[in-house]
Chain A
Amino acid sequence: MDSPAANAAFAKQIDIKFPLLSDMNKKMLKDYGILKGYDVQSENYQWAQRANIVIDKDGIIQHIDFDESAINPNNALSVCTDLHKKQTSK
């Protein structure tokens, strides 16, 4: 799990303009059901499943991609764009 300090260095390195967040106690990952365990040489390690999740202003999930399909963010981005169009045309 990356610490806020590691994320800050990474954000600076590649000039990221959006917040990089850390789930240090893995609570969010558990609540969202995206924590995976791996057994390696009799030790168990846990880290996140890759995911893109779009949540609208009302807190409703509008789109989810998991694993390989979450590598490309374009589907989720187009959901964001459509969502914005709908909201601004009201």
Chain B
Amino acid sequence: MQTRRAIASFLLLAALPVSLVIPARSQNTEQVTKTTLKVGDHAPDFTLLSDQWKTVKLSDFRGKKNVFLAVYVLAFTGG
């Protein structure tokens, strides 16, 4: 476990939909943006807000840590 802590800065992006009722009733699903990223590509830099209201950039970890980015939908955070 210690190794795991050392290897990756584990970032979780909790992206909860506006309403939890919607998914079961949705009619049409469309990909707003196409996923073109693949293994070996440069990851686009991002700036996200932490739960402490601080900005976190991917480039903050460049040369320092590997990053595990988990985009987690329906996290039931209540937000």
Listed A/B pairs (23) with beta-carbon separation below 8 Å: A1-B16, A2-B14, A2-B77, A6-B16, A19-B9, A19-B56, A21-B49, A22-B49, A23-B13, A28-B47, A29-B15, A34-B33, A37-B29, A45-B18, A46-B32, A47-B17, A51-B71, A52-B70, A53-B70, A55-B67, A61-B43, A81-B3, A84-B66
Measured between beta carbons, the chain A residues less than 8 angstroms from B67 are: 54-55
The answer to whether residues A66 and B14 also contact, given A50-B71, A59-B58 and a CB cut-off of 8 A, is: no
**0 or 1 for each of A38-60: is its CB under 8 Å from B? (1 = yes):** 11110001111111111111111
Contact-residue bracket for chain A: 35 or more
Measured between beta carbons, the chain B residues less than 8 angstroms from A23 are: 13, 15, 46, 48
> Are the C-beta atoms of A33 and B14 separated by less than 8 Å?
no
From A4, A7, A39, A56, contact of B66 by CB (8 A): A56
A27 CA to B44 CA, complexed, in Å: 11
A residues adjacent to B (C-beta < 8 A): 1-11, 16, 18-24, 27-41, 45-64, 66, 70, 73, 76-77, 80-81, 83-84, 87
From B42, B48, B75, contact of A28 by CB (8 A): B48
Measured between beta carbons, the chain B residues less than 8 angstroms from A84 are: 3, 6-8, 66
B residues adjacent to A (C-beta < 8 A): 3-4, 6-19, 22-23, 25-53, 56, 58-59, 61-73, 75, 77-79
Measured between beta carbons, the chain B residues less than 8 angstroms from A80 are: 4, 7-8, 66, 68
From A24, A56, A73, contact of B70 by CB (8 A): A73
Measured between beta carbons, the chain B residues less than 8 angstroms from A73 are: 68, 70
